[in-house]
Amino acid sequence: MPDTPRKPAAADPQEPSLDEQIAAYQREFRDLDPQVEQVVSALGRLNRRMNVAYGRQVAYLGISNAEWEVLKTLVLAGSPYRLGPGELAKRLGLTPAAMTHRIDRMAAEGLVTRDRDENNRVRVIVELTDEGRTQWLEAMRMATDFEEELLQDLSGDERGVLGELLIRLLRRVEDAQPDAGGRLKDLEP
């Protein structure tokens, strides 16, 4: 049986289309550049929807987005996949108390271990377990499938151009807001 075209997913009935949103913004704020608004609004919606998709994937694996972030951070640290809780908290933009709570849950689930540093008994080391690495790898497999499907309509050249353009935008934001990678102190409740 030949592949049939897929129907586009129904939009959230509570959320206007991008065109409707831009038209409403232009009605209320005449100085709006519709091209700029189309780009940033599309990026915002894409980001939200991708986060939902990734959240569903890790939930299917029995882990939370918050736990996924810790697993990812430990993997990014490189083998042997270990960091101190303070360094983890810093990299994730969390308070030490929030990090401790997250590590407690993950240790109970067998995703990480928490042990004293043999060279400095005051220092604690959080290390990825085999189970944590297995969960990370499965989440990566699922994410890779989702991302390939997401970009299936773009050629290799188009993917390259899109990637370069997005990196340019990211650099602009990072230059203007260098502390925006973690939680901002001025935005904390």
Q: List, for residues 74-90, the tens digit of each pLDDT value.
A: 999 999 999 999 999 99
What strand order describes the sheet that includes 112-117?
82-83, 120-128, 112-117
* Whether pLDDT at 132 is above 70: yes
Q: How many CA atoms lie within 13 A of 141 on its CB side?
A: 8
- The per-residue pLDDT for 187 is 44
CA distance 55 to 67: 11
Task: Note the pTM of the prediction, 2 decimals.
Answer: 0.76
Average pLDDT over residues 180-189: 51
Which band of pLDDT confidence, cut at 50, 70 and 90, is reported for residue 162?
Answer: very high
Alpha helices (runs of H) in the chain, residue ranges in sequence order:
18-28, 34-60, 65-77, 85-92, 96-108, 130-150, 156-176
> Are 111 and 135 in contact, with CB atoms under 8 Å apart?
yes
Nearest to 117 by CA among 86, 92, 90: 86
pLDDT digits (tens, 9 = 90+) for 55-65: 999 999 999 99
Distance of CA 66 to the CA centre of its chain: 10
